[in-house]
Structure formats: structure tokens, C-alpha cells
Amino acid sequence: MMQIIFNSFLVVLLIIPAVTLVCRRGRRVRFAPSLLLLLVCVAGAIVAAFSFWRGDRLAVDLSWATPFPFALSVDRLSAFFLLLICAVGAPVTLFSISYVERHYSQGKADWLWALLPLFVLSMALVVTASTAFAFLCGWELMTLFSAALILIDGDSERRRHNIFIYLLMMHAGAAAVIASFFLFLPHANGLDFAAMRGAAAAMPTGMRTAIFLLSFIGFGTKAGIVPFHLWLPKAHPIAPSPVSALMSAVMLKTAIYGFVRFTFDFLGGGPIWWGYLVLLAGAISGLLGILYALTEHDLKRILAYHSVENIGIIYLGLGTALVFMANNSPAWAAVALVAALLHSLNHALFKSLLFLGAGAVSEATHTIDIEQMGGLLKRMKLTGIVFLIGCCSIIGLPLFNGFVSEWMIFRSFIEGSQLQGISSSIVLPLMAGVLALIGGLAAACFAKIFGVAFLGRARSPQAEQATEVARPMQSAMALLAASCVVIGILPGLVVNPLAVLANDLMHTPVLPEGAFSISRTLPWIAACAAFLMIVIAGLRRITRITPTWACGLPALDSRMQYSAAAFSKPLRTVFARVYKADRTVDVQYAQPPYFAKSVSYCSVRTTSFERSLYRPAVNGIVNIATRLRKLQTGNMQVYLLYIFLALIALLVFMRFA
Amino acid sequence: MNLAINLIQALLLIAIAPLVSGIIARSKAQMQNRRGASLWRPYAELLKLFRKQDLVPDTASALFRFAPVILFAATATAAAFVPVLHPSALFDVSGDIILFVYLLAIGRFFLMLGAMDGGSSFGGLGASREALVSALAEAPLLLALISVAILSHTVSLSGIVLATVRQDPLHLSAVYAFALGALVLVAIAETGRIPVDNPSTHLELTMIHEAMVLEYSGPSLALIEWASAMKLTLILALLTGIFAPWGMATNASIAALFLAPLVFAVKLALLAAVIAVIESSIAKLRIYLIPDFLGMASALAILAVAFTALMR
């Protein structure tokens, strides 16, 4: 039964683009592709949920139709990520139905409904593939479809440049992934996953290290860990909001899936420095992601940087698991792995919620600059409340889902102190400090976002006239918000099957005692807090609406409010060394040095990586290319000479080889 | 029996919180050669505020009125994690040190939001500075708690307290010194006392917490004041619980149970007096020196954690 639904899930995703073509003329059937996609996502979520909770295996083999072995199979790990894709895909589709209706002409809408199912299909292909060929097909298509979806919103010079960087970095990453697959070839008979898993244990250390490093770089580029994150804040913000939600919430997770598949499933862990490398990448990504997010005012760019931060947190969990494995403590490695996977799911839920919220807000105010918003909670009640839930989840407040996974990561950090290796027992507990700092900075950042965008006075005429968005958009966001709260209060629903999955991967029977102690306490805390809140809120309070105290002046206006730039200024000053901002201040005086006529101030941050890491590399490549250009004279005789020389070189080579 | 004591100690923390601010105010006054107000004045003030109208700025949304409620509820829930009279608490679960820290973070986050809802620059100013202090204070707070947790081989507050109670006071690990230093510095920052914040200032150059609550009045202000007093009491109770838990009732005898509140009251009063001394003798730090102050706390906390491993 499940197998049939799974097969039709794949087939229907493939034919929705055709349905779009057929249905474009009729007014009655114009919702057919979107409703079909919604239905398919729900069906996929059900199949994945069954397979994830019960451990059913599903398989599809298409090798008879393809030149290389092409097969899909769903085990618990695949099912978990498939669930993640479909569970986010369904609300995103629901949201898109009215988003597309309002934003796009018929032609663009057709493109979106044709490409969106293919994008979902390619991601599903990645997480369910059981041969290298199928995996790489999905991997490439995922990049191309997402780039095509970004292009729907227009192709100005700047956007094309950003997409070029996106595609370039994705292909560099894909090269590393392909190489790490092919390194298995001398040792495994065939590139299906079972053979690779079997061959990995007997491979020489150097080969295993090479595979690990290549997959670390390849998947890290897709996941957006620092310093491979360059494309992320460029590509995500320019996509249509539902697509940004899918890219940020789901597409990045396929890289986590790939990394877990390679490092934990195939290679089965490795020496301790693997763990330290992953921890280091996680810590740097987490800290830099959040620090860069603090300085931004473009809502979608902030969220994109927060993806870098959250991927960092996931890598902290994965690195901890590797360190535990290297220290022969598989039970706690399983806990850290559960934490990392749970955080992947949580991030998918709250980040898609926040991106959809950003879409709703930008629809209502026609801007994504938070300095132009303000006071939206009064005008968009539901959007405001669900956005607040998203904020609480992402900064990891208790009773919301982000807290549960961060708690588990903290818990495994603390447990690291009990390890025999002295370096691990110092490094892991100290990582808790890094995670706490990330959490504190995230709270500051989201206080800024929510405070500036949703609270206080409207900061622009558009924000003043904002109205609530359409019902389907609201319900899509409400669904995601509800799932954040449910996982936050009853985390056992997801953690228990995840524990089974992690125990399988680590070959341990059960999670250690106390590894998940809060799951039974959280409902009580929720009950206690709810009780207190109801009691206090029930107290009789007479309220009177008055103007805000203006220090005796006639009235305040919106420009007197603290802006987002002002809010983050203290933290930016403290971390000035990290930003290395390029500031240019240009003051025109009426009578120097007094009476400034005009002041222009420009501060460019977040470019230090571009400047110090990528710029030299790009310059180097361009330099070499310029020198090589001398070879291309355009003269026919010279090319004949090249051929002749090559022939002679080959003959000489063949003679002595 | 245990449940009753746990409930009583949580309620006790909530109830005596205003008294602690009363003691601090009184001792400060006496340090400055004033007679000072009655110890019970904070209660009278709360009562007065609860009877008043709530003035809500016309720009504010519903969140403005809800923020104090959430702040109070979260802080009161955090009170249920702190062992006071005996080494156990209402919510006693492995890993609660993280929960405790993050429950306090809920209140802080919503207070920042409430401040920004007022629509004046003061609220944003206070929230922005609070964001600076709290973002940098979270790491040392958690690391210091983790270091003592590692020493006592448990991850729950009551487990930590129990482990300290059972130790010989003369043979305590040196890690405690580092952790104590870090926690004291963080406690000052978290509760907004001098030299990080001045609770009695209304000068916009210096205020942090006061700037955030500037628009609040009536019952909302009462809830905020009560919650901040409670937070101070919780952190002081945590300090005494972790570093000087002697005097707690380790068995259920009547004598021990009667002695425990008395000993706790004495310890709390002493700490309050120490705060008064510090506040009367030190000037407030410039805002950009606060990161250095918290950097010191972080360094101590990092040393504490590193030493737990090195001294095994």
C-alpha cells in the first residue's frame, strides 16, 4: 500500500508540469496543479511518516530504463528527510496558491507551478536515492531547478550575477561530491549504497580521509557553512518567498542528509580530528552567521544568515557525535546525532515559517527592509503572532521546538566532560559556551527584527496601510507555527523514532539514561507557565490608552523610534573586529568645520570573506587565464602546430610508457 | 512531604523577592548615612501599583500588556527549579541548568519586545543595551553552571547542591573559586546592578532596565518590578545553593526543616548587604566597558570548565 502511494507520489510530481500546461487556459482548472502538488506533498508526508515511525522499507528500481543503475530506497534516515521535505512542502504550496495569485502574471505562475513540483521531486530524489547515479541526478537537478525558480522574479544584471555565483559554487561543491563518490570505485563493486557501505570499512585510511574531506567540502558548500556560505545570502533573498522558504528550510537539509549518509552510514565515523573539524566549522558558521545577521536590515537576508547560523548548530551536533564515536561512546554519539537531526527538522519548520512570514509582510508593505515596517502586529495580528512563534523557536526559548534540540546538544556537550580523552573533555564542554553565545546573540537579533518590524509605530506610509494577508497564507503559517509548538511541548513524538534511527546507525541498543530527561518535564512546565499566565492575565486591570511620554514635546513621530541600525549598534561596536566594516563618511559643510549641509554615510559589512578569501582566488584564476590567452592566437597555423606537437608528445609517451 | 516542601520553597522565593530589594535599599541608605525606608516598602509599592490604572501607549499592541505577564510567569516557573530549603526542587530533572537559564531568557526577550512596543526612543535604547548585556552574559552563566555540574557528576541544580552539601568545606575544589567569580560577575550583569546598570537611575546616558520599563505603569509595572526582584532573589538563592548550601535540611527532621529557612534568610540578607556595599562604593561602568566586565566573567568560566578536566 505504502509502496503504491510512494510510486504515485513520484509519478504525480513528474506529471504536474504537464498538467500545468494543459490547465493554463481553463479558468476552472487553474488551481489543478497547485492542489495536486498540495495533495502529493500530504501523501508523501504520510508515507514518509509511516516509514519513519514504523521502519517500513520502500524501494523503486529503474535500472532497466537508465544507462547507469538508478534505484531509490527509503530507510529510516531517508524517510526522516522525506518527511521533512513533504511536511514543509505542503504548507509552502498552500501559501504559494494565493502568493502566486497576487504576484504573478499567468505566464510566470505557470513557470512556478511547473518548476516547483520538479524542485520537490529532485530533493526527494536526493534523499531517497540508493545509487550514486540517482543521487547525483537529483543533486544536479535540485541546483538547476532552484536557480530557475529564482529567475522567475526577474533577471536583472544584479540578480543574474548572484545566480551565477550560486551556480558556480554549487557546481564546485558538486564536483567534490562526485569525486567522493568515485573514490569508492576502486574498492566497491558498483556505486550502489549497500556496496559502498560494505567497502568502506576495508578501505585504507588515506582514502577514507580523502572521501571525508571531499564530502565535507561538497556537502558543506550546499549547506552553507563558513567559508562556503558566500552564495547563501546572495541567492536566498532574491528568490520568491515560498521558494526561499523551500531552499533555506529544506534544500540545505539535503546536504546534511548527504553528510550524515557519507560520514555516519558509509564511513561509520573516523579519527577524532574529523569531529574537531566539524565542530570548528559549526562554531565558526554559527558565530559568523549570527553576527552577520545582526548587521542586516533586509528581512530575507537576515533570515538567510540565520540559516548559516542554524546549519552551524547542526554541525556542532554532528561534530559532537563524531567525537563521541572516536572516543568509543556510541550511545552518546547517538544522542548528539538525534539532536542534530532534530535541529534539522526544527530549523526546517521555523525557518520556512519565518520566510513565509517575510513573504506575507513584504506583500502587505511592499518592502523587505525592516526599517520601513513597524507596528505590523496591530495590523496583521495572525501573521504577527505566528512570526513571534517562529522567533521564539529559532532563538531556542523553552516550550518551542528549537529549545529541545539545542538542549540535547548542550546535554551531549556536558556529557563530553566524562570522556577519557583529555582534549575532548575540555573541548566539548567549552562548546556549550559557543552555543550559549550564539543563542544570546540570536535573541538580540530577533528582538531587533520583531521589535522593529512588528512593534511600535509604523515607520513608513506603506506600513501604516498594511492589511492582513489572504486566508490560505495565514493557515499555511499557522500550521507551521502549530507544529513548532507541538514539538516544543511534546518532543517525544519525534525524538523516540529518531532515537531508533540513531541507534541503528551507531549500532547501540538504547539511548543512555537521562539523555532525554526533559521530555516528560516540558508538558508540566508548559502547564505551570500557562496556569500562571491565565491567573495573572485574569486579574482585573483597568487600562487607559494614552500617548507615549514625549518628554514634554508635542508628539513623537516614527523617526524618533530606535531604528534597527541603532539597535544593533552596541553589539556591532563590540564585534567591530569581526566585521572590518568599510566606512565612508562624506560631510559637506556650509562653513567648515561647522554647520554640516549634508552628511552621507556608507558602511559595507559582511564582505571580509569576499575580500580576503574569494577575491584573491578569483584574481588568481583570472590572472592565469589571461596568461593562457596567449596560447589562443586565432592563427590556424599555430593550432596545427599544437596538434603536431601533441601528436609527437603522445608518440614519445607511448614509446617509453 | 517532599512535594509540599518543594512547593513551599518555590512560593517562598516568589514571596520574599520584594523583601530582598527592601533589604538592599535599606542597607544602601544606611551606608550613605540615611535612615532609609522600611524593609517592607517594596510590598507597599507593589500593592499601590496593583491598585492603579494601566496606562498603555496609543502605539502599543496587545504584546505590550502581555509581556509583563509572560515575564512574571517565566520567572516564577524558573523559581520552581531552585533548591532553597533542601536539596531538591519542584521541577527536578537532569539537565535543568539549561532550562533554568533559558526560562530567564524568555522573560528578558519579552521585556525587550514590550519596551520596543512603546514607540519612543527610550524603549529601544534600553532594549538594545539589554540585548548587549544579555547576549554576552549567557555564555559565562551557562559555562560556570556547567563547570560545577561536571564537578558534581550531575546535570541538575539539586544534584549540584547535594554534591556540595556532602563535601568537606575545607576540601572544595579550586574550580569552585573560578565558577564563583564568574557567577558573581554574571549575577551582577543579569540582575542589572552597579557597576553594569544602576537600578535607581533615570538618566538616559546610563539606564538599561529603567529605560525598558519607562512606559509601563500600574499593575504591569508591578509585575515587572516583582519579576526583577524575583530574578535577583533566584540568582542569589542559586549562588548560596551552589557555593554555600550548608544549613539546608538534608533529612526530614522537624529541627532541620525549621532551621533551613532561618539559615537561608541569614545568607540572603548577608548577600543583599554585600550588594549594598558594592553599589555604594563602586561607580557604574561606561557601557562599552561592560563587554570587558563580561569578558572577565567568560575567562573565569572557561578556566573553571578547563580545570574540571585538567584536575581529574
Q: Do A505 and A334 touch, CB atoms closer than 8 A?
A: yes
| Residue B31: partners with Cβ closer than 8 Å, 6 or more residues away | B276, B277, B280
CA distance A230 to B3: 54
Q: What is the pLDDT of residue A227?
A: 87
Indicate yes or no: CB of A429 within 8 angstroms of CB of B147. Answer: yes
Mutate to test the interface with A, among B66, B75, B98 (most CBs of A within 10 A): B98
Q: What is the pLDDT of residue A607?
A: 61
φ/ψ region of A557 (left if φ > 0, alpha if ψ in -120 to 50, else beta) reads: beta
pLDDT at A605 over 70: no
The most distant pair of C-alpha atoms in chain A lies apart, rounded to whole Å, by 100
Q: Which of A359, A384, A413, A132 is nearest to A249 (CA)?
A: A359
pLDDT digits (tens, 9 = 90+) for B79-115: 999 999 888 888 888 889 999 999 999 999 999 999 9
Residue among A542, A545, A556 minimizing CB distance to B119: A556
CA atoms within 13 A on the CB side of A474: 12
Number of domains in chain B: 1
CB contact, 8 Å: B161 with chain A?
no
pLDDT digits (tens, 9 = 90+) for A255-295: 999 999 999 999 998 899 999 999 999 999 999 999 999 98
Indicate yes or no: CB of B102 within 8 angstroms of CB of A542. Answer: no
Which triple of cell numbers denotes residue A586?
Answer: 562624506
How far is the first Cα of chain B from the last one, in angstroms, to the nearest whole number? 38
Number of domains in chain A: 1
pLDDT at A27 over 80: no
A594-604 and A58-61: which strand pairing? unpaired
Which triple of cell numbers denotes residue A214?
Answer: 571531499
Q: Which of B213, B214, B221 is nearest to A549 (CA)?
A: B214
Indicate yes or no: CB of B53 within 8 angstroms of CB of A547. Answer: no
Provide the residue range defining the domain that includes A449.
269-531
Residue numbers in B near A398 (CB within 8 A): 99, 102-103, 106
3-state secondary structure of A598: strand
pLDDT at A99 over 70: yes
For the purposes of burial, counting CB atoms within 10 Å of the CB of B269, is it exposed (0-12), middle (13-18) or buried (19 or more)? middle
Q: Which residues of chain B have a pLDDT value below 50?
A: none
CB contact, 8 Å: A425 with chain B?
yes
Surface of B (48-77) touching A: CB under 8 A: 50, 53-63, 65-66, 69-70, 72-74, 76-77
ipTM of the complex: 0.96
DSSP string of A80-146, one letter each residue: HHHHHHHHHHHHHHHHHHHHHHHH--HHHHHHHHHHHHHHHHHHHHHHHB-BHHHHHHHHHHHHHHH
Residue among A434, A536, A567 minimizing CB distance to B69: A536
| Residue A546: partners with Cβ closer than 8 Å, 6 or more residues away | B55, B56, B57, B58
Q: Do B39 and B28 touch, CB atoms closer than 8 A?
A: no
The DSSP H or E segment spanning A584 is: strand A582-591
Which triple of cell numbers denotes residue B264?
Answer: 537561608
Indicate yes or no: CB of A433 within 8 angstroms of CB of B121. Answer: no
Q: Which of B173, B160, B163, B153 is nearest to B311 (CA)?
A: B173
* CA–CA distances in Å: residue A158 to residues A23, A155, A162, A636, B147: 34, 8, 6, 38, 50
CB contact, 8 Å: A541 with chain B?
yes
Residue numbers in B near A436 (CB within 8 A): 101, 138-139, 141-143
Q: What is the pLDDT of residue A579?
A: 82
Q: Is residue A486 part of a domain?
A: yes
CA distance A537 to A451: 22
Which triple of cell numbers denotes residue A333?
Answer: 554519539
Indicate yes or no: CB of B142 within 8 angstroms of CB of A533. Answer: no
Q: Is residue A258 part of a domain?
A: no
CB contact, 8 Å: B276 with chain A?
no
Name the closest residue on chain B to residue A423, using Cα atoms: B309
Question: How much of chain A, in percent, has pLDDT values that exceed 70?
Answer: 99
CA distance B25 to B35: 10
| Residue B20: partners with Cβ closer than 8 Å, 6 or more residues away | B229, B232, B233, B236, B268, B272
Q: What is the pLDDT of residue B290?
A: 94
Confidence of residue A435 (pLDDT cuts 50, 70, 90): very high
Least confident span in A25-29, A48-52, A462-466, A632-636: A25-29
pLDDT digits (tens, 9 = 90+) for A405-414: 999 999 999 9
Q: Do A303 and A464 touch, CB atoms closer than 8 A?
A: no
CB contact, 8 Å: A397 with chain B?
yes
| Residue B39: partners with Cβ closer than 8 Å, 6 or more residues away | B19, B22, B23, B26
DSSP string of B107-135, one letter each residue: HHHHHHHHHHHT-SHHHHHHHHHHHHHHH
Indicate yes or no: CB of A518 within 8 angstroms of CB of B95. Answer: yes
Mutate to test the interface with B, among A381, A414, A560 (most CBs of B within 10 A): A414
Q: Is residue A538 part of a domain?
A: no
Mutate to test the interface with A, among B92, B116, B155 (most CBs of A within 10 A): B116
Residue among B72, B106, B109 minimizing CB distance to A536: B72
Q: Is residue A508 part of a domain?
A: yes
Q: What is the pLDDT of residue A362?
A: 92
Q: What is the mean pLDDT of chain A?
A: 91
Indicate yes or no: CB of A549 within 8 angstroms of CB of B291. Answer: no
| Residue A407: partners with Cβ closer than 8 Å, 6 or more residues away | A518, B95, B98, B99
Q: What is the pLDDT of residue A205?
A: 92
pLDDT digits (tens, 9 = 90+) for A466-503: 999 999 999 999 999 999 999 999 999 999 999 999 99
Indicate yes or no: CB of A422 within 8 angstroms of CB of B309. Answer: yes
Indicate yes or no: CB of A437 within 8 angstroms of CB of B139. Answer: yes
Indicate yes or no: CB of B106 within 8 angstroms of CB of A457. Answer: no
Provide the residue range defining the domain that includes B242.
2-310
CA distance A476 to A232: 25
Q: What is the pLDDT of residue A286?
A: 96
Indicate yes or no: CB of B99 within 8 angstroms of CB of A398. Answer: yes
Question: How much of chain A, in percent, has pLDDT values that exceed 90?
Answer: 69
A543-546 and A71-74: which strand pairing? unpaired
Q: Do A219 and A262 touch, CB atoms closer than 8 A?
A: yes
Q: Is residue A402 part of a domain?
A: yes
Residue-wise burial string across B81-99, b where 16 or more C-beta atoms lie within 10 A, e elsewhere: bbbbbbbbbbbbbbbbbbb
CA distance B114 to A456: 9
